[in-house]
Structure 1
Amino acid sequence: MCGIAGLFDLRGKRDFSRDLVRRMNDVQVHRGPDEGGYHFEPGIALAHRRLSIIDLSTGQQPLFNEDGSVAVVFNGEIYNFQELVPELEALGHAFHTRSDTEVIVHAWEAWGEDCVQRFRGMFAFALWDRNRETLFLARDRLAVKPLFYALLPDGTFAFGSELKVLMQHPLLDRRIDAHAVEEYFALGYVAEPRTIFAGAKKLGAAETLCVRRGQPVPQPRCYWDVHFMLDNPLSLAEASAELTARLRESVRLRMIAEVPLGAFLSGGVDSSAVVATMAGLSDEPVHTCSIAFDDPAFNESDFAQKVADRYRTNHYVETVKSDDFDLIDTLAGLYDEPYADSSAIPTWRVCQLARKRVTVALSGDGGDESFGGYRRYRLHLMEERMRGALPLGVRQPMFGLLGRLYPKADWAPRMFRAKTTFQALARDSLQAYFHSVSILRDAMRRQLFSNRFRSELAGYNAIEVFRRHAATAHTDDALALIQYVDLKTYLVGDINTKVDRASMAHSLEVREPLMDHKLVEWLATLPSGLKVKGQEGKYLFKKAMEPLLPNDVLYRPKMGFSVPLSRWFRGPLRERVRQTVLGETLAATGIFNPDYLRHLVDAHQSGARDYSSPLWSLMMFEAFVRSSGGCPARAPELAAAV
């Protein structure tokens, strides 16, 4: 795995500062500690950090075509590169390395912008074609690998694998994007294509961007989408057999490496299925890594051990203390913008453990979205049946009133926590799903933000992110719609972001067999009833894995990869929460209503409410503000208007 960076002069052929480009590259040295490479010519600068995985001796980058007119810097893996080499050789292209990177330059020469259609893998790359004076950027279909870019005031186009790369440039507009703040406090991340900074963007999933000298920067082009057809007539037995075969193919492709390879093993269905499949494809014991927690409520290590014992893996376990909260500031520097998924802590730890043993690790990420594994999916389908019984005109006033009157009861047994259900029933399907996944729901965000900041938002609501994607889903199936939205938002903005930054912090490459685009496409053809059946999520996946995994691994309640925030904030982090949320850093931004901040802290610490997720999101926002050097020039103006 690697890091890429570069600058392109859209107006002429200036020579870029080599010191600046080296700083941009050095700030991401963790992504590629093995080597650094550069290419400079008038009007273009390319930089690369390398973590050697395939073709260790000759895969250095930037990598060029035969006459040196096309150069590429690449982060990721093209898993089908060995299939493409003979096809490109037949077209007259000569290969000088055994790396997947060289396939990209020749595929560009052969197929132009459509070359990405031929690649099967995870990738973010930038390709320079001198003869066409064109810079071509691309990101893989499910946005496993990141790519940021910015158009600067002097006509420079900058790009990099992490936002911190662009932050090295003095001309980057680092004013906070108000819409990004709204998205963050709703979703826990800033959704593509925004970043927290007004002057930078993320290239989205399955997008390319073709930038030509002397021309305006166009909008990115989408080259792929998943279509939930739901019309595949396979029986359960037939679908199980085909799923097993497709999973084996996906895992086999991701086991190609010239360095030590292993897998994460949490004890959940997804990672256990990947490990079981790897064991069936390997003559040697698989290296597996697990994190155990000293708090039994969060510990899955016994289930991971069962799978490790069954397949005789070389299993490595480290126990993390339940008060492992020393990473807060580390995470802020890692993600470069606010990021509120607290499972980033154990993810960082398991990557740290894995890197002691292997350079490449396979994971089970992406299974919940495609197989229908989230508990929220089952709850949404139950609510959908209730919504279907009454028209919206009846539901809105009736359940809206009940939602307002019914007390919030975080402390009560789940069956008595009806406030959220009433609120969901008063909404349409997409609004209800957005409501269910929001960290701070609409009413809470209205109270959270200051009057002046709400005017900055000008009515913008983060549900627009969901609406934008729902408009292209082309399905009215209740489950398929929210799966599609999650594939476009939560998987990209939360899961893939978390794993990429945590793994790259330890120079570890993580590969995700369950995100193979051909597998995702095929799963989208299957009826929703094969994914969620009654109260059983991942129905087909679990049935297919029954011959390979113990029933208590397959059918136990989903635990998740979480940490005890609620207890932390009332116990060992009590004073830190109070000082952080009510301190000067957040107050100086002018974004927040101080009275509501105090309510969140007091109500949580008194035990009246569980506000652990909102408080964590505020702590991570505060850490971001400190690590990035504070808010923009408008902050004092906002602060004065609270």
Structure 2
Amino acid sequence: MCGIAGLFHCGTIKPVDPARVERMTDVLAHRGPDGSGIWTAPGVGLGHRRLSIIDVEGSPQPMHSASERLVISFNGEIYNFRELRKELIARDVTFQTDGDTEVILAAYEQWGADCVKHLYGMFAFAIYDRKRRELFLARDRFGVKPLFYTQLSDGSVAFASELKGLLAHPLMRREIDPRAIEDYMAWGYVPDHRSILHGVHKLPAGHTLLLQHDSAVATPCQYWDISFAQRHRGKAKDLEAELLHHLQQGVTSRMVSDVPLGAFLSGGVDSSSVVAFMAEASRQPVKTCSIGFDVASADETSHAEKVARLFATDHQARTVSADQFDAIDAIAGMFDEPFADASALPTWRVCQLAKENVTVALSGDGADEALAGYRRQVFHAHEERLRKLLPEAVRTKVLGPLGRMYPKADWAPRPLRAKTTLLSLAGSGESGYARALSVLPPESRFALYSPELLTKLGDYRAEQPLLDLMDTAPARSRLDVAQYADLKFWLPGDILTKVDRTSMATSLEAREPLLDHRLVEFAAGLPDGLRVKGRQGKWLLKKAMERYLPDDILYRPKQGFVTPIAEWLRGPLAGKARGIAKSAMLARTGWFDNNRLSLIAEEHIAGRADHSRVLWQLIMLDRSLARLGIT
């Protein structure tokens, strides 16, 4: 795992100042504390920070191919590099190192841009071809590893693993894109199709980009997409066995490491499944760690400890409390862009805990997206059946007005919180799912905005890119469409961003075995009834894991990595909630109605409503703007 950065001149070939590449690379030192390197040539410069995992003593970067034609700066891990190495040796390729970086170079010499189709893993890399005088950028299938890029005022393209790498360049402009504010307030993060800053792009997951000195910046090219268009045939038991094979393959392929390796263990189905297969494959006790909370309703440590005892792991646990939110500025600095998933704090803490004993940790991320484990996906499947039974006139003319009048009863038992369901049923399946996925629906966001921001936004709505994505999904059912949206939109923008930034902030490599693309492709072909059965999501996964895990782990209600932020903002963090309406930083932007911000803070503190998510969004936006130096 590493950090990469670089510069490339489009339309001309001018010298690249090595000091500028070095400055961009140095701010990524947390991603790679074990070594650094800079390489420049006319019109191009590559930088690298290394976290040594494979071939610890060898494989320095930027690395040259044996022919000296290619130069690479690479972030990530290629899990099938040994198999690829054997295949390439059979083609008379010789290798000087034992790592995966040189295998990528050899694969590019053999297959060109198609090399990415042969790579199984997580990656973002840049390869410069000295003969063709072009730069090839690539990002892995799911977007586990990030890659930002922008065109600067001198015509050069700058790229880096994190936005802070671009911000280290003196020509980088810091102008906020108002559409990113609308996106952020809708989702709690800035999705991959947008950046908080004008002119900055994120290379989409499963895409490559080819830059040439004699032409303008090209459009990214997609090399992979997940498809739900086909269905597997066969008995459930046979599909269960095949799923177990893919699970085992995903885990064991990610246990290859020349440094200490462990796992995050929450006590949920996904991380427990990963630990089960690790324990089966390991000769030594698996090192596991978990984070708990000082609010009992959000604490899962007892479940994690039960799984740790079951598999005799070397387990450590730690508790997160509200007084640790003094680290808000540190969290804002990790993400650069505003990021309001409150579980970032415990994720960072569990990464810190893991780093005390290991350099690589396996996580359970990805199974909910791939196998329909989110409550919203299960609800969506049921809603779609109900939507088909109700005439459109009933949904739009009766349920819509009823939903708008129904109180937002955050305090009530879940069955009585009907407002969201009514509004969802009144619209299309796509718009209903967008509402379920969002932190704030349109009517709530617009009530916070100032007339100035509304004018800047015009008719832009954050939901539209998601609706467009769902409308073109390669899918057979509405459940397929929901999962496709989660895999393409939510996963890279929220979950993988959270894990990448928090793990890299501690110089820890996090690996996601349940996002092995062969496993996800298999899961996408499962019949709906093997993914969701009744109120149970991830049904086939749970059935398959019954031989490894007890029922009270497999079938207890899904909790997730829930941070008790609502309670904290009514108690020890109430001052921060009140302070958001008086923030000089937010006031200077002119984006929000400060009276409205003050009202929601007081409503939340008094317990009349749960505004914790929007208050946390505003707190993180405020701190992120300060870190970005926006005035």
TM-score calculated relative to the size of structure 2? 0.98
State the 1:595 CA deviation. Answer: 2.5
1:3 to partner: Cα distance? 0.2
**For the residues of structure 1 that align with 2:133 and 2:146, how far apart are their CA atoms?**
24
Structure 2 partner of 1:90: 90
Q: How far apart, CA to CA, are the structure 1 residues paired with 2:438 and 2:555?
A: 28
> What secondary structure does 1:324 align onto?
helix
Output one character per residue of 1:128-147: Cα deviation in whole Å (capped at 9) or x when no partner: 00110100000000000000
| C-alpha distance after superposition, 1:117-159 (max 9, x if no partner) | 0000000000100110100000000000000001112110100
1:137 equivalent in structure 2 = 137
**Residues 35 and 49, structure 1, Cα contact 8 Å, conserved in 2:** yes
Q: CA deviation at 1:497?
A: 0.1
- For 2:468 and 2:66, locate their aligned partners in 1 and report how far apart those are by CA, in whole Å: 43
1:211 and 1:217 in contact (8 A); partners too = yes
Q: Which SS does the other structure have where 1:488 is aligned? A: helix
CA distance in 1, matches of 2:43, 2:421: 57
How far apart, CA to CA, are the structure 2 residues paired with 1:359 and 1:472? 40
Residues 581 and 618 of structure 1 are in contact (CA less than 8 Å); yes or no, is this contact kept in structure 2? no
Partner of 1:16: 16
1:488 aligns with 2:488: yes
Q: Which runs of 4+ in 1 moved over 4 A?
A: none
- SS at structure 1 position matched to 2:36: strand
C-alpha contact (below 8 Å) 1:174/1:199 kept by paired residues: no
Q: Does 1:500 align with 2:500?
A: yes
Aligned to 1:212: 212
Which amino acid letter does the alignment assign opposite residue 228 of structure 1?
A: F
Matched, 1:103 2:126: no
Give me the whole-angstrom Cα distance separating, in 1, the residues matched to 2:551 and 2:474: 36
SS in 2 for 1:73: strand
Q: Deviations over 1:181-211 (max 9, x none)?
A: 1111101111113110002110011010000
State the AA in 1 paired with 2:562: S
Give the corresponding residue for 1:458: 458
Structure 1 match to 2:605: 605
**How far off is 1:361 after superposition?**
0.5
Q: Matched residues in 1 for 2:447 and 2:316: separation? A: 46
* Residues 583 and 622 in structure 2, CA contact (< 8 A), matched pair in contact too: no
Taking the aligned partners of 2:354 and 2:263, their CA distance within structure 1 comes to 8
Within-5 A mapping of 1:354-393: 354-393=354-393
Shift of the alpha carbon at 1:607? Answer: 1.7
State the distance in 2 between where 1:43 and 1:450 align: 45
Cα distance change of structure 1 residues 321 and 569 upon mapping to structure 2, 3 Å threshold: closer
Say if 1:528 and 1:230 are closer, same or farther in 2 by CA, change over 3 A. Answer: farther
Q: Deviations over 1:393-420 (max 9, x none)?
A: 3311111110122222111111221111
Counterparts of 1:179-578 in structure 2, within 5 Å, are 179-578=179-578
CA separation in 2, counterparts of 1:327 and 1:374? 29
1:335-363 per-residue CA deviation (whole Å, 9 max, x = no partner) reads 00011100001000000000001000010
Q: Could you say what secondary structure the match of 2:588 adopts? A: helix
Aligned 8 A contact 1:229 1:526 in 2: no
Tell me, in whole angstroms, the C-alpha distance in 1 between the residues paired with 2:126 and 2:69: 14
Alpha-carbon distance between aligned partners in 1 of 2:166 and 2:59, rounded to the nearest angstrom: 26
State the secondary structure of the residue aligned to 1:601.
helix
Aligned CA-pair RMSD: 1.2
Q: Deviations over 1:501-550 (max 9, x none)?
A: 00000000011110000110011111111011001111100000001011
SS across alignment from 1:149:
strand
Q: Partner of 1:14: helix, strand, or coil? A: coil
Secondary structure of 2:324's counterpart equals: coil
* Native 8 Å contact 1:88 1:106 kept in 2: yes
Larger mean Cα displacement after TM superposition, 79-88 or 596-605? 596-605
- Superposition deviation, residue 164 in structure 1: 0.2
Given the superposition, is the C-alpha separation of residues 191 and 359 from structure 1 closer, same or farther in structure 2, using an over 3 Å criterion? same
**Aligned partners of 2:332, 2:125: CA distance in 1, in Å?**
25
User: In the TM superposition, what is the alpha-carbon distance from 1:18 to its structure 2 partner?
Assistant: 2.2
Quick check: 383-392 or 134-143, which moved more? 383-392
Counterpart secondary structure, 2:232? coil
In the TM superposition, what whole-angstrom CA distance separates every residue of 1:425-472 from its partner, at most 9, and x where no partner exists? 111001011111211110011111111111111110111221232133
Distance in 1 between the 2:87 and 2:383 partners?
51
For 1:519, give the aligned amino acid: L
Secondary structure of 2:326's aligned partner: coil
The amino acid that maps onto 1:352 is Q
Which residue of structure 1 aligns with residue 112 of structure 2?
112
Q: Secondary structure at the match of 1:153?
A: coil
1:230 Cα deviation from its structure 2 partner: 4.9
Name the SS for the 1:216 alignment partner: coil
| Residue 322 of structure 1, CA deviation | 4.8
Tell me how far apart the structure 1 counterparts of residues 331 and 393 of structure 2 sit (CA, whole Å): 45
Q: What SS does the aligned partner of 1:258 have?
A: coil
The two structures have a TM-score, normalised by structure 1, of 0.97
Deviation at 1:292, TM superposition (A): 2.2
CA contact (8 A) 1:136 1:211 kept: yes
Q: In the alignment, is the contact (CA less than 8 A) between 1:189 and 1:493 conserved in 2?
A: yes
Equivalent residue letter for 2:235: S
**What SS does structure 2 have at the residue aligned with 1:326?**
helix
Task: Indicate if the aligned counterparts of 2:378 and 2:532 stay in contact, CA closer than 8 A.
Answer: yes
1:639 maps to none
- Contact conserved, 2:9 with 2:156, CA < 8 A, in 1? yes
> Is 1:173–1:200's contact at 8 Å kept on the other side of the alignment?
no
SS in 2 for 1:19: helix
User: Which ranges of structure 1 fall in alignment gaps of 5 or more residues?
Assistant: 632-642
2:338 touches 2:620 (CA, 8 Å); kept in 1?
Answer: yes
| Bigger Cα displacement from structure 2, 440-449 vs 354-363 | 440-449
Corresponding position of 1:634: none
Question: 1:550 & 1:362 partners in 2: Cα distance?
Answer: 21
Q: Are the counterparts in 2 of residues 392 and 428 from structure 1 also a CA contact under 8 Å?
A: no
Structure 1 residue 241, shift from structure 2 partner: 1.0
Partner of 1:125: 125
Separation in structure 2 between the aligned mates of residue 234 and residue 321 of structure 1, nearest angstrom: 49
Flag structure 2 segments of 5+ consecutive residues without an equivalent.
none
Please state how far the C-alpha of 1:25 moved relative to its aligned partner: 0.6
Could you tell me how far apart the structure 1 residues matched to 2:78 and 2:595 are?
52
Contact 1:73–1:125, Cα closer than 8 Å, also in 2: yes
Q: Which moved more, 1:258-267 or 1:315-324?
A: 315-324
Q: CA shift at 1:491, angstroms?
A: 0.6
CA distance in 2, matches of 1:80, 1:621: 40
